[in-house]
A = this chain, B = another copy of it.
Amino acid sequence: MSLRHALLALLTVTPMTGYDLSKAFQASVSHVWHAPDSQIYPELRRMEADGLLVGTEVPWGPRGKKREYHVTAAGLTAFRAWMNEPLSYTRERDPAHLRAAYLEWAEPDAARAQLRAHRANYAERRDEWLEKVREIDTGTSAMLEKRLAHAPASEHAAIRAYKRYTYEGLIARAEHEIEWAERGLALVDQLNGGDPTRTDAAAPA
């Protein structure tokens, strides 16, 4: 049920169409939440039916039109209620670590390729998130500035701080994953490439 709350979070900033939301999920908010349009449009209709949103037809060109969704008072209440609820932590499902635990079954080169992919994946994300932090600091984040424009000045510091806090956490996590992949690459080399005394030394007592 988190897609609903992710949508509410975005729509509290500014009214948007399904298309806008789909773009937002691909870009700015991606890596915190992600959803294809085929989930977004039906969910928006369901949310409107539940009274959390109202959709208004907006003309678009001579004949075209689009549907812009606004959060209702009920929607705001629901969002606040969710924000105050405890999160449920489900058991993790971690393909990368599942693999790592059985990495002796992989060819050394395949193992290396996987660890490099892991590193590359998180390096890319880290760079994206670093860019986000830069945008927050320089006031060039469109969504954040819109949010600030609709919020009282007394809350600006908190809004900025929590956004920054979120991305800093993601960056630190990405850096941990990169480091972990690098230790893995060293381990693969040590177990396969190097000299046999080294390999023995790798065995923990």
Contacts and interface: CB of A to CB of B under 8 A. Distances in A.
Interface stretch (A14-22, A44-52, A56-64, A163-171): A163-171
Contact of A104 (B32, B98, B105, B162): B162
Interface string A141-168: 0000000000000011111111111101
Contacts of A202: 157-158, 161
Interface string A109-136: 0100110011001000000000000001
A173 to B, nearest CB: 6
A91 B34 contact: yes
Interface residues of A, number: 74
A65 interface: no
B87 A32 contact: no
Contact of A204 (B85, B93, B164, B173): B164
A52 to B, nearest CB: 15
Nearest to A157: B203
A79 to B, nearest CB: 7
9 contacts: A32-B98, A34-B93, A80-B106, A83-B99, A83-B102, A97-B170, A172-B176, A173-B177, A176-B176
